[in-house]
Chains A and B, each alone.
Chain A
């Protein structure tokens, strides 16, 4: 086959693909009366577990909404792989080809920041079970966050730790944007109160060996260690235990998975977390999937129900977005969500202690 023939075949294939897209675009239509929503979750890669939990919460919310209101809901769920440019591709597909009425997601801070300017120009309501700093959002209320502002949470645990009489803390976190912000906020608040941060060690989220930073922490002889990490929680607690660390441990948003995997190393650990999901939701989730809901299933559920409720009001998009901008509170399965005038998301939190593998409030 000559080069010219190959080029003709390749060009023909590409033109056919483009025509296929255009055909798909022109024939995508919604059944009258149905609401169509899209979801951008991480369904492959390192954070797929997180995305799968979100998807379960999303699917359950759609099911509940349909049963409550007898309104048809079409859903299109796309995988962003945790990559910002893929998140933009997926968002563009949802709004231009699938012509969704609203979007739930994305899940990572970097994805939210990348999609933010596209959300502003598309003028479509987006609610996300995630967090991104306000500076990374063109409109601080669209996307609307249903995830607790991590710096506020970190301030609270810092105040709690200081109130316990602890004066020297070492901080361990990772370079993940959320964890970095948590670690920084804890350290700055603890220092403001008059405490001492003996050291702050940040690792990569995928490091398999955390012995060096842990040794550094132990060498500073802190009274307590604050673990501002989900990614490295298990590694860090294991290594702290291996090196005979006997001081206090504090952390943030420890879930049942972490508690189970690290159960031999975290007796007595205290952590702050938004109040657990409502019992009704937990029971419903277990009936549906046979397992307890993991983070962020509840947040995804709330984001979805809130979005569907707003879309059910059938106003023009501008009105829905205006409603989102003026929203002050919402009673969700993840708690009583409040949005402050300076656009921070607050949920009631509680301090839990791990004893014999159980979470004690």
Chain B
């Protein structure tokens, strides 16, 4: 059962990432490929505070959110000058920059050697040492993020960001400062991604830059596209499918010599078929 619990934890972490990215991509229409950078900033903040200063996990989460939101603000201020494809390309560049910082700022991050020995969370003397306890904790965070995101998208703010996605120029004609709204949602998304980063660092107990590459941003984007943009339940479903699918394929009886390669082929084929059948994603309401 530890195996299933482990997968459950990964699903909750990636569901948080997906929901946070969906606010930016699905609801606001900003094709961002920077999310792994925010994921990483959150993770490294928790890792450094926990290992170097022995700060309690829950406090590190707050600091991670604040710091990552600040990073999101700085990056967002630059990205706000771009639209459409140029926005995506620029966000791509920022992911690469942040990854390079993780890799090269060795005095802070230990570079490719990573940061080991990150403690599991504890609260008022209770230690979340077992995987089951950690799963419960991450589920609590997921529920909080889910309902926060739902609150945002159901509010007037949510209506404005959807209007930006649908027709930004028209909204500007009505006097809305769309840059402010886009920047705000970008910062909120970054802050939420930091929560996932903190959970990831504390669960794996070791982080290194290889977990926060551009490929990871693309993976998170794939989750929300598969699950369906502009739909929180779609983000959840996408996370479940993309985390479980490669694991399920381990139980398909391919010959050992080609099992790994066949799983990759089948995984890719299934994704292609899913997108052919439902290009807007399984529960999506909006296409990029």
Q: Contact partner of A133 among B2, B10, B113, B247, CB < 8 A?
A: B113
CA distance A78 to B246 in the complex (A): 12
Q: Is the CB of B4 within 8 A of A21?
A: yes
- Interface presence of B256 (CB below 8 A): yes
Q: Is the CB of B116 within 8 A of A79?
A: no
Residue of A nearest to B130 (CB): A121
Residue of B nearest to A98 (CB): B3
CA distance A176 to B210 in the complex (A): 10
Residues of B within 8 A of A86 (CB): 246
Q: Contact partner of A113 among B10, B206, B248, B261, CB < 8 A?
A: B206
Residues of A within 8 A of B4 (CB): 18, 21
- Interface presence of A177 (CB below 8 A): yes
Residues of B within 8 A of A85 (CB): 10, 204, 211
With contacts A17-B244, A180-B111 known, is A175 near B204, CB below 8 A?
no
- Interface presence of B93 (CB below 8 A): no
With contacts A17-B244, A43-B261, A77-B256 known, is A89 near B3, CB below 8 A?
yes
With contacts A25-B1, A44-B264, A96-B3 known, is A136 near B256, CB below 8 A?
no
- Interface presence of A135 (CB below 8 A): yes
Interface of B, secondary structure class, is: helix
Residues of A within 8 A of B165 (CB): none
- Interface presence of B251 (CB below 8 A): yes
CA distance A21 to B113 in the complex (A): 35
- Interface presence of A234 (CB below 8 A): no
CA distance A169 to B68 in the complex (A): 41
Q: Is the CB of A135 within 8 A of B117?
A: yes
Residues of B within 8 A of A81 (CB): 260
Residues of B within 8 A of A83 (CB): 210-211
Residues of A within 8 A of B264 (CB): 44
- Interface presence of A227 (CB below 8 A): no
Q: Is the CB of A79 within 8 A of B260?
A: yes
Query: What's the nearest-Cβ distance from chain B to residue A130, in Å?
Result: 14
- Interface presence of B103 (CB below 8 A): yes
- Interface presence of A10 (CB below 8 A): yes
Query: What's the nearest-Cβ distance from chain A to residue B235, in Å?
Result: 14
Residues of A within 8 A of B179 (CB): none
Query: What's the nearest-Cβ distance from chain A to residue B44, in Å?
Result: 15
- Interface presence of B287 (CB below 8 A): no
Residues of B within 8 A of A113 (CB): 114, 116, 206, 208
Residues of A within 8 A of B111 (CB): 175, 177, 180
- Identify which of residues 179-209 in chain B touch chain A, using a CB-to-CB cut-off of 8 Å: 204-206, 208-209
Residues of A within 8 A of B210 (CB): 82-84, 110
Q: Is the CB of A10 within 8 A of B237?
A: yes
Interface of A, secondary structure class, is: helix
- Identify which of residues 246-284 in chain B touch chain A, using a CB-to-CB cut-off of 8 Å: 246-248, 250-251, 256, 259-261, 263-264
Q: Is the CB of A181 within 8 A of B3?
A: no
Question: How many residues on chain B are close to A (CB under 8 Å)?
Answer: 36
Between B1, B3, B103, B205, the greatest number of chain A beta carbons within 10 A of the residue's beta carbon is seen for B3
CA distance A97 to B1 in the complex (A): 8
Contact size range, A: 35 or more
- Interface presence of A257 (CB below 8 A): no
- Interface presence of A214 (CB below 8 A): no
Residues of B within 8 A of A20 (CB): 251
Query: What's the nearest-Cβ distance from chain B to residue A175, in Å?
Result: 5
Query: What's the nearest-Cβ distance from chain A to residue B3, in Å?
Result: 4
Residues of A within 8 A of B204 (CB): 84-85, 88, 114
Q: Is the CB of A79 within 8 A of B211?
A: no
Between A77, A82, A136, the greatest number of chain B beta carbons within 10 A of the residue's beta carbon is seen for A136
With contacts A24-B251, A92-B2 known, is A177 near B112, CB below 8 A?
yes
Query: What's the nearest-Cβ distance from chain B to residue A107, in Å?
Result: 13
- Interface presence of B240 (CB below 8 A): yes
Residue of A nearest to B210 (CB): A110
- Interface presence of B7 (CB below 8 A): yes
Residues of B within 8 A of A21 (CB): 3-4
- Interface presence of A116 (CB below 8 A): yes
Query: What's the nearest-Cβ distance from chain B to residue A27, in Å?
Result: 12
- Identify which of residues 1-27 in chain B touch chain A, using a CB-to-CB cut-off of 8 Å: 1-4, 6-7, 10
Residues of A within 8 A of B256 (CB): 77
- Interface presence of A317 (CB below 8 A): no
Q: Is the CB of B116 within 8 A of A135?
A: yes
- Identify which of residues 220-254 in chain B touch chain A, using a CB-to-CB cut-off of 8 Å: 237, 240, 244, 246-248, 250-251
CB-defined A-B contacts under 8 Å, sample of 14: A14-B240, A77-B256, A79-B263, A82-B210, A83-B211, A92-B3, A96-B3, A113-B116, A113-B206, A116-B116, A117-B205, A136-B116, A180-B113, A181-B113
Given contacts A96-B1, A113-B116, 10 further A-B contacts (CB under 8 A): A25-B1, A77-B256, A83-B211, A84-B204, A84-B208, A85-B204, A89-B7, A116-B116, A136-B116, A177-B112
